[in-house]
């Protein structure tokens, strides 16, 4: 019987126990590579497998937890050999036992942090797992077990690597901390939502906690999971006694707790660290042949970031629409010029304003949309924990967005055209995405609610054929402009009710189109939104910075009994709440110079705006901002102020410049740039504070800065230096070990014909050292870096 059939039989599946614990028992030392046993001490390995089989294990886990080429690097072991031998050992043990058992290819975490935090890219993680899977297929294992995973993004890469390179069933378990989250912050609900979407065959938890501590987390997993749930707990919590790891609970306690899990509805049970054949024997003696206890799970519409999930259809959901260039000049410029700071700011502001998820659309002519959308998604996910809505008319961009997104995405959008459904549904199915589905088809947008409902129904049925569950479909009945199609606006609203009642689907609308061409648009928008919410709208795609819309939603939540006891509403609108929001009143008491010198960055934008009424933008720059900046810079040089004060002032100036730039661009004036500078922390180094300080100060002084980030390859610097014709390259390295990398970068720059002056900086550098590694300038601090940049540009 294939493992998948066995899984569907509804009978408990019993795994083996710990491998590492047993290897240590047989003499493996701390830090020794367990996979070496697959080659050098097969007899021990086979004995362990045999013991588990005799104890009643129905699935053997191969000794390949760390058998990826990253962990095996420098050990002289090869992935394929290690895996093939591991499977052979398991198979040989099965033969000797005369029993039947499945062989699970064990895959543990790679052991590197994923980007953007770490240096391991999604594609690298994918490739490492692919190599393991191909070896596992060759060796003939029956299934793959992904276990002890802590990063849901790594897990996503691994699942795709397995599914795209084999037909093997995938079991996937994560390890949780006592705070109920994995090390990278994923909670059980979010794990379930993402993994079910990716189509694993079973999911659950293992390791880290003992059965007692696991209870709460397991309960959550069982509450949300509609597929089989697996658990492999530790024998309690690990403790180190006399240099040896021991576990906190007794065998009997472990067995009692674990047996209780079966009663809760767990389908697959085994043991993790600290468990031995004796533990497994006690479990199998009770559970062998047992039925999986049935559970009732209510399926809900949910989208997830890596750390949290938003349920659609309970409380009202707001999706921020601002990251979209359509009709937004500044966003357009930001996307074309890689002004990532602007995009970050939009994301942060929308989150602060109360958005529950963010729409991401980068569609512009002349832009490589699939590439760009991935870049922007990664950027936003670095700074925001909100789920994202991937918005594109380009199917390739949707697919790339879904692939590299960390979490369960929402696709915007599909519609009732056969072509659209055939293009988008396979993507939604593969990546487990929810979709906004528009009620239009080959014949356009129907006039009546009934006809739009028919399209919604057609979409739902067609999605069903692809195996997409209906909770992943959110119907958008399309908002038309009331000034052009007045009698059809109510049809949109009516469709909502029909879709909800008859199909049980969730609904969404992009609201602001309704008011085009009318005065007092916010009033129309707000009223329309209220009508739609009353008819059962679940999601609005709006500008969360719009006070009118957000207030209408706040009021609606009270009236619809969503905001219990009006707690949120009172918090926002009571006198105290209002006073809190209006506390900035002392603007006129300060001059812009004082604001800059004092580093009062919340005040500088408003103050600048106020001054623009009486002064030209460039006058403000030359007469107010620059003198203040110089005072601060001199103060820093003389030790009268310390670094945080310099940074505060620089950020204050930055906020002023946002306003100045707006004014300049409104007046059609072209901003004069001082010069172009690349800044980068060199390859291998991950420290970027110094570089970031230099950046903000340089921008203050009018330089155009291309900030390439940290751990930047020489190739990337060469590419940008050539493409942007920069005047200066600034390199940063904090460690003595990475100054070497700085030297190599400079050599490569020169070899590749980049003759631009190079300035270096970092804690361990000196003028002499800088000269030795071939740099042209040494900037001892941010202030000096700016002086050097001036010098270089003036010379050039």
Partner 1 sequence: MEIKIDKSEVLRYLGYKNQEYSQELDHIIDEVREEIKEISNFKYTYKIVELKRDAEGRAYIEDGIMPLLGENIQKHLANADSCVIMAATLGVAVEKRLNYYSKVDLTKNFILDSCGTQMIEEVCDGIEEEVKAKLGEGFFYTFRYSPGYGDYPISVQNQLVRYLDGYRRIGLTVTDSHLLLPRKSVTAIMGIQTIPFVSEFDRCAACLARDYCKFRKEGTRCYSKKD
Query: Which positions touch partner 1 (CB under 8 A)?
Result: 29-32, 109, 111-113, 116-119, 148, 150, 177, 179, 183-185, 207, 238, 240, 243, 340-341, 344-345, 348, 382-383, 598-600, 639-645, 647-648, 650-651, 683-689, 692-693, 696, 735-738, 741, 763-766, 769
- Comparing CB distances to partner 1, the nearer of 161 and 653 is 653
- Comparing CB distances to partner 1, the nearer of 113 and 212 is 113
Q: Closest distance between partner 1 and the C-beta of residue 767, in Å?
A: 9
- Comparing CB distances to partner 1, the nearer of 194 and 514 is 194
* Encoded tokens for 793: 């540009």
DSSP code of residue 350: H
- Comparing CB distances to partner 1, the nearer of 127 and 315 is 127
Closest CA to 313 of 68, 562, 112, 598: 562
Mapping DSSP to helix (H, G, I), strand (E, B) and coil, where does residue 259 land?
A: helix
Q: Closest distance between partner 1 and the C-beta of residue 219, in Å?
A: 21
Length of the chain counted residue by residue: 796
- Comparing CB distances to partner 1, the nearer of 506 and 695 is 695
Rounded CA-CA distance 159/136 in Å is 14
Rounded CA-CA distance 450/25 in Å is 70
Query: Can you name the residues that pair with 231 across neighbouring β-strands?
Result: 205, 269
Q: With contact defined as beta carbons under 8 Å apart, do 386 and 305 qualify?
A: yes
Query: Is the preceding peptide bond at 116 cis, omega within 30 degrees of 0?
Result: yes
Q: Closest distance between partner 1 and the C-beta of residue 236, in Å?
A: 15
Q: Closest distance between partner 1 and the C-beta of residue 688, in Å?
A: 6
Cα–chain-centroid distance for residue 364? 24
Cα–chain-centroid distance for residue 619? 43
- Comparing CB distances to partner 1, the nearer of 383 and 555 is 383
- Comparing CB distances to partner 1, the nearer of 344 and 367 is 344
- Comparing CB distances to partner 1, the nearer of 405 and 425 is 405
Q: Closest distance between partner 1 and the C-beta of residue 692, in Å?
A: 6
- Torsions phi, psi of 398, nearest 5? -60, -45
Q: Closest distance between partner 1 and the C-beta of residue 248, in Å?
A: 15
Q: Closest distance between partner 1 and the C-beta of residue 684, in Å?
A: 3
Q: Closest distance between partner 1 and the C-beta of residue 754, in Å?
A: 23
* Encoded tokens for 595: 């604001």
* Encoded tokens for 503: 């199909």
- Comparing CB distances to partner 1, the nearer of 185 and 199 is 185
Cα separation values, 660 from 221, 276, 357, 457, 613, Å? 52, 69, 31, 52, 12
Kindly calculate the radius of gyration of the chain based on its CA atoms and give it in whole angstroms. 30
- Comparing CB distances to partner 1, the nearer of 422 and 602 is 602
Q: Closest distance between partner 1 and the C-beta of residue 265, in Å?
A: 28
Q: With contact defined as beta carbons under 8 Å apart, do 310 and 303 qualify?
A: yes
Q: Closest distance between partner 1 and the C-beta of residue 685, in Å?
A: 7
Rounded CA-CA distance 456/495 in Å is 9
- Comparing CB distances to partner 1, the nearer of 241 and 795 is 241
Closest CA to 599 of 549, 641, 553: 641
Q: Closest distance between partner 1 and the C-beta of residue 341, in Å?
A: 7
* Encoded tokens for 287: 């559970």
Q: Closest distance between partner 1 and the C-beta of residue 766, in Å?
A: 4
Rounded CA-CA distance 762/401 in Å is 36
Q: Closest distance between partner 1 and the C-beta of residue 33, in Å?
A: 9
Rounded CA-CA distance 456/328 in Å is 31
- Comparing CB distances to partner 1, the nearer of 740 and 790 is 740
Rounded CA-CA distance 199/160 in Å is 10
- Comparing CB distances to partner 1, the nearer of 259 and 686 is 686
- Comparing CB distances to partner 1, the nearer of 169 and 306 is 306
**Alpha carbon distance, N-terminus to C-terminus of the chain:** 76
- Which H/E stretch holds residue 206? strand 202-206
> Where do the DSSP E strands lie in 95-193?
102-107, 143-149, 170-174
Rounded CA-CA distance 183/82 in Å is 28
Rounded CA-CA distance 499/449 in Å is 9
Cα–chain-centroid distance for residue 719? 27
**How many CA atoms are closer than 13 Å to the CA of 123, on its beta-carbon side?**
2
Q: Closest distance between partner 1 and the C-beta of residue 344, in Å?
A: 5
């Amino acid at each position: 019987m294939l493992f998948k059939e066995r899984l569907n039989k509804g009978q408990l599946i019993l795994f083996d126990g710990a491998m590492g614990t047993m290897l240590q028992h047989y003499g493996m030392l701390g830090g020794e590579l367990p996979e070496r046993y697959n080659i050098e001490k097969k007899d021990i390995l086979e004995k362990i497998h045999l013991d588990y089989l005799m104890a009643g294990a129905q699935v053997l886990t191969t000794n390949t937890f760390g058998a990826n080429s990253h962990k095996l690097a420098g050990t002289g072991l090869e992935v394929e050999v290690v895996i093939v031998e591991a499977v052979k050992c398991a198979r040989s043990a099965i033969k000797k036992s005369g029993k039947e058992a499945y062989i699970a290819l064990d895959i543990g975490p790679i052991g590197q942090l994923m980007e953007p935090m770490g240096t391991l890219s999604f594609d690298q993680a994918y490739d490492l797992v692919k190599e393991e899977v191909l070896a596992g297929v060759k060796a003939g294992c029956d299934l793959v077990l992904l276990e002890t995973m802590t990063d849901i993004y790594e897990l996503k890469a691994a699942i795709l690597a397995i599914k795209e390179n084999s037909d093997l069933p995938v079991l996937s378990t994560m390890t949780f901390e006592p705070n109920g989250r994995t090390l990278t912050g994923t909670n059980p609900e979010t794990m379930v939502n993402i993994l079910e979407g990716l189509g694993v065959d079973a999911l659950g938890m293992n390791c880290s906690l003992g059965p007692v501590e696991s209870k709460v987390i397991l309960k959550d997993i069982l509450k949300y999971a509609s597929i089989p749930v697996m658990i492999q707990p530790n024998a309690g919590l690990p403790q180190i006694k006399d240099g040896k790891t021991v576990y906190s609970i007794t065998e009997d306690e472990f067995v009692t707790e674990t047996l209780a899990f079966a009663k809760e509805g767990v389908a697959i049970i085994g043991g993790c660290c600290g468990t031995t054949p004796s533990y497994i024997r006690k479990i199998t003696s009770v559970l062998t042949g047992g039925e999986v206890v049935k559970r009732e799970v209510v399926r809900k519409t949910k989208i997830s970031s890596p750390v949290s999930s938003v349920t659609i259809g309970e409380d009202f959901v707001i999706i921020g629409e601002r990251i979209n260039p359509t009709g937004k000049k500044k966003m357009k410029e930001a996307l074309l010029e890689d002004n990532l700071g602007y995009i970050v700011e939009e994301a942060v502001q929308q989150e602060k304003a109360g958005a529950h998820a963010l729409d991401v659309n980068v569609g512009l002519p002349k832009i490589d949309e699939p590439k760009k959308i991935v870049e922007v998604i990664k950027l936003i996910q670095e700074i925001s924990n909100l789920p994202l809505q991937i918005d594109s008319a380009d199917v390739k961009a949707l697919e790339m967005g879904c692939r590299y997104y960390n979490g369960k995405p929402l696709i915007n959008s599909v519609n009732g055209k056969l072509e659209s459904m055939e293009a988008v549904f396979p993507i939604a199915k593969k990546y487990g995405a929810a979709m906004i589905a528009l009620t239009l088809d080959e014949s356009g947008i129907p006039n009546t609610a009934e006809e739009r409902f028919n399209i919604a129904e057609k979409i739902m049925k067609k999605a069903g054929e692809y195996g997409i569950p209906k909770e992943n479909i959110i119907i958008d009945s399309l908002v038309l402009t009331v000034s052009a199609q007045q009698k059809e606006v109510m049809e949109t609203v009516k469709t909502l009710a029909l879709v909800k009642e008859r199909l049980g689907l969730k609904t969404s609308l992009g609201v602001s189109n309704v008011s085009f061409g009318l005065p007092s648009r916010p009033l129309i928008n707000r009223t329309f939104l209220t009508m739609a919410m009353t008819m059962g709208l679940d999601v609005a795609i709006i500008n969360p910075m719009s006070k009118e819309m957000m207030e209408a939603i706040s009021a609606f939540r009270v009236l619809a009994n969503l905001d219990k006891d009006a707690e949120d509403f009172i918090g926002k609108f009571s006198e105290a709440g209002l006073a809190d929001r209006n506390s900035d009143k002392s603007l006129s008491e300060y001059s812009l110079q004082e604001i800059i010198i004092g580093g009062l960055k919340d005040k500088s934008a408003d103050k600048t705006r106020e001054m623009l009424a009486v002064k030209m933008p460039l006058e403000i720059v030359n007469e107010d901002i620059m003198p203040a900046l110089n005072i601060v810079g001199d103060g820093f040089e003389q030790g009268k102020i310390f670094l945080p004060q310099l940074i505060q002032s620089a950020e204050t100036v930055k906020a002023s410049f946002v306003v100045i730039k707006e004014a300049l661009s409104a007046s059609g004036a072209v901003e004069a740039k001082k010069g172009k500078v690349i800044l980068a922390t060199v390859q291998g180094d991950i420290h970027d504070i110094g570089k970031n300080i230099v950046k903000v100060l340089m921008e203050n002084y009018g330089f155009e800065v291309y900030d390439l980030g940290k751990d930047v390859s020489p190739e990337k610097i060469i590419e940008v230096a050539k493409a942007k014709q920069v005047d200066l390259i600034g390199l940063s390295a904090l460690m003595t070990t990475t100054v070497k990398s700085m030297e190599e970068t400079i050599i490569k720059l020169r070899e590749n014909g980049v003759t631009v002056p190079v300035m270096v900086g970092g804690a361990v550098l000196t003028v002499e050292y800088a000269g030795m590694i071939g740099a042209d300038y040494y900037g001892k601090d941010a202030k000096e870096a700016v002086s050097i940049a001036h010098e270089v540009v003036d010379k050039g």
